[in-house]
Structure 1
């Protein structure tokens, strides 16, 4: 099953849900497609299983990091909360090899597919996102609640674009920056986003 998931993950990350068939996955693994039909009713069921496999890992890691940060901090800060949330996730992709990077691209696709992607994101990530929101409210007690939610919206947009690894920043910067350089993103993103929260909350 792990071979099936890995092959499907790589294919879906490149071609999306509609660009892959169960036969494509079976061919990649080297099995007859009837084996996949036995385990999965259709390719959406396989897609959902592939997505869920790593979603639980990254969600739990971030939840643990947020809990540990709150327990250690006298007073949570915006950047501290964002680092627990963002850096932990980026570390997973930095250290996890190509499989995790494929999953990152898959997550970016799901986050930008309103028809059914929002339901997947809600099911797997709402608890950890709301945990972050709770910490941000503690760090910004005088900030309007809608500004905190908008701030998170901007954070997740930047994160999803990063995870998509489109290569656009590579071209725009003439090779100075690389879309797969998650370490460079980790060094900058939380600080950048924290400044944004502070700016919109000032008013």
Structure 2
């Protein structure tokens, strides 16, 4: 079963739901297709099982990290602290978890951008994490409107999805100066960058001006 899930995770992360067959998964681990069918009725069932294997793990880690952060500061939450708690544990999973976790990250990014593949499943598993982050952000910026906080999260999510996809685009654009696999460098910068964005949005809405 683990071999099937591992092979499927790798293939789905590279080719997406519709670019992979159960036969290809079977071939990748050297078994007959009937064995894969024994465990999974169809490809979508296998795809869902791949998503459900790691999503609850990273969800629980992130909620625990945010709970621990809030407790450690006695409820005096900051933007940077909230974002680090939300992001860092997840980024560490991909930095230290090996290629298998990186494959899951790429797959999760694809699912987030392709609703028909099963984003309903991923949303069900990950929405509690997002709601926990929103609660922290509201504590950090109580004067910021809910609308602006949700837009801020929208932009946070887009940046994170691009990071998880590991497209290699930044490698090319930077001439090798930056690498999409460098989760340590991403972790060092991402929360700070995002916190600055939240503050800029708040200031723009508060003053009614657009920064130039």
TM-score band w.r.t. shorter chain: over 0.9
CA distance in 1, matches of 2:197, 2:96: 28
2:69 maps to 69
2:209 maps to none
Aligned length: 203
Task: Kindly indicate whether residue 167 of structure 2 is the aligned counterpart of residue 146 of structure 1.
Answer: no
Aligned-residue Cα RMSD (Å) equals 0.8
2:21 maps to 21
Task: Give the alignment's TM-score, normalised by structure 2.
Answer: 0.94
1:105-124 equivalent positions in 2, closer than 5 A: 105-124=106-125
1:41 maps to 41
CA distance in 2, matches of 1:2, 1:9: 10
Question: SS of the residue aligned with 2:114?
Answer: coil
Unaligned runs of 5+ in 2: 207-212
CA distance in 1, matches of 2:148, 2:41: 42
CA distance in 1, matches of 2:8, 2:165: 17
CA distance in 1, matches of 2:119, 2:138: 24
Shift of 1:31: 1.0
Shift of 1:56: 0.7
CA distance in 2, matches of 1:121, 1:147: 24
2:201 maps to 200
1:56-95 equivalent positions in 2, closer than 5 A: 56-74=56-74, 75-95=76-96
1:7 maps to 7
CA distance in 1, matches of 2:119, 2:104: 16
1:161 maps to 162
8 A contact 1:93–1:104 mirrored in 2: yes
Ranges of 4+ aligned residues in structure 1 off by more than 6 Å? none
CA distance in 2, matches of 1:198, 1:121: 29
